[in-house]
Amino acid sequence: MANLTEITNFSSANATEEPDYYDVEYYKEPVWVQAIFISLYGTVSVLGICGNGIVCYIVLGHQRMRTVTNYFIVNLAIGDLLMAAMCVNFTVYATLYTRWPFGEVMCKLVSFCQTISVSVSIYTLVAIGVDRYFAIIHPLRPRMGSKETLFVIGVIWVISVALALPAVLFTTVETAGDATFCTDGSWEDSLVYSLICMVLQYFLPLTVLTAAYIRIGKRIWGRRTPGEVEAERDKKMSESKARLVKMFATIVLLFALCYLPIQIYTIVQDSNQNVLFFYYIKIIYLCALLAAMSNCVYNPFIYCWMNIKFRNGFRSVFRFLPCVTYQGDWNGFKGLRRANTGQTQMETLSTGSRMDRGRWWTHDQAKPNKNGRASNSDGETRTSFM
């Protein structure tokens, strides 16, 4: 995975490695081009901080939203928050003006945070994919509880920090004439580290996720209803699972597409260092990096678009706007009642359901799993948002 140290490599390399390249001229962006990039990166930063902050508030601020899947969503949002707050603005400045005036501490910190953010995001997606896999492919196996989920999240952060440690140890500020650069150009194993990050943060996780979601898709859409009596129940179960799978598959697909340009750039750069002296290399890098960093913006919009509970949660936050309609009980839980069969049922009051499906309420029969906890047709605990 390309990291921040590559931002200025094409600027410092011509001063430290090849003196003959010192006078190589790059495309000097006119003011209006700089303004466009600054505006785009600034928008990514603001939307990333606000959107993911609201997602954290919706889950952590409301007890009934604190489910296994939602804990992973919060972890994903924290990773995106780290990218939006600590990496985006520093990166665009360093690339546009080919200098690093923020000091060595910030150089190490920003590079460290960028690597952690990418790792946390992709490994959280893997954890969600594995959780969905077992919930759908092996529905009778015990599901993770809150403690197990927090343990997995802790492991994700430990692995992410370990993978980012070289950024702290070897990233430094170098001087060339009157300019300063944040770079790891003097580290002999930087190429090996870059390749390891590329495999561990992109190709390997996406391979695992692709295999998992293909298997899940075959199970959901390839399964036939066993009989007429079970048809309606199985249809609701399948629809519920399909909505959840579609949402997370969309998030994974966006991650893959957003980070593809920077992966191609990294492969080309590592294969041929001469591309660093290409006249328009800064513009190419800025566009590739913008695509990658913009990934921290999209997830809240996906939740709002594809999930009723999060959509109503966003409505509650923006209810001060005249164009936003909001119902007070956005959590959507009308309550629990004891069914005649002795099983607990939950009635879900959803304002989104009224508009989207034309009915006032739906209910999902809870079934005990091996852990003794009630779970719905989606395999989530009773307070699941799906």
pLDDT at 333: 40
Rg (CA), the chain: 24
Residue 5 has what DSSP assignment? G
In tens digits, the chain (386 residues) has pLDDT values of 445 444 444 444 443 444 344 456 778 889 999 999 999 999 999 999 999 999 999 999 988 888 899 999 999 999 999 999 999 999 999 988 888 999 899 999 999 999 999 999 999 999 999 999 998 888 888 888 889 999 999 999 999 999 999 988 888 888 877 778 888 766 777 888 889 999 999 999 999 999 999 999 888 877 655 554 456 666 666 677 788 889 999 999 999 999 999 999 999 988 888 888 888 999 999 999 999 999 999 999 999 999 888 998 999 899 888 888 876 655 544 333 333 333 333 333 333 333 333 332 333 444 445 444 444 444 454 333 34
pLDDT at position 343: 37
pTM of the model: 0.80
Dihedral (CA of 164, 166, 167, 168) sign = positive
Domains and CATH numbers, the chain: 4-317 (1.20.1070.10), 333-375 (no CATH)
User: Who's near 5: CB < 8 A, 6+ residues apart?
Assistant: 111, 167, 171, 182, 183, 184, 185, 190
Q: What is the dihedral of CA 295, 298, 302, 305, to 10 degrees?
A: -160
Write the CB contacts of 16 (distance below 8 Å, at least 6 apart in sequence). 174, 176, 185, 186
Q: At what angle do helices 295-306 and 31-60 cross, to 10 degrees?
A: 50
Distance linking the first and last C-alpha atoms of the chain:
33
* Separation in Å, CA 164 to CA 76, 109, 174, 238: 17, 10, 20, 40
Other beta carbons within 10 angstroms of residue 270's beta carbon come to 17
DSSP sequence for 328-375: S-TT-EEEEEE-TTS-EEEEEE-HHHHHHTS-SEEEEE-EE-TTS-EE
CB 68 within 8 A of CB 381: yes
Beta carbons of 44 and 293 less than 8 angstroms apart: yes
Whole-angstrom distance, CA of residue 7 vs CA of residue 342? 62
Encoded amino acid at 334, one letter: K
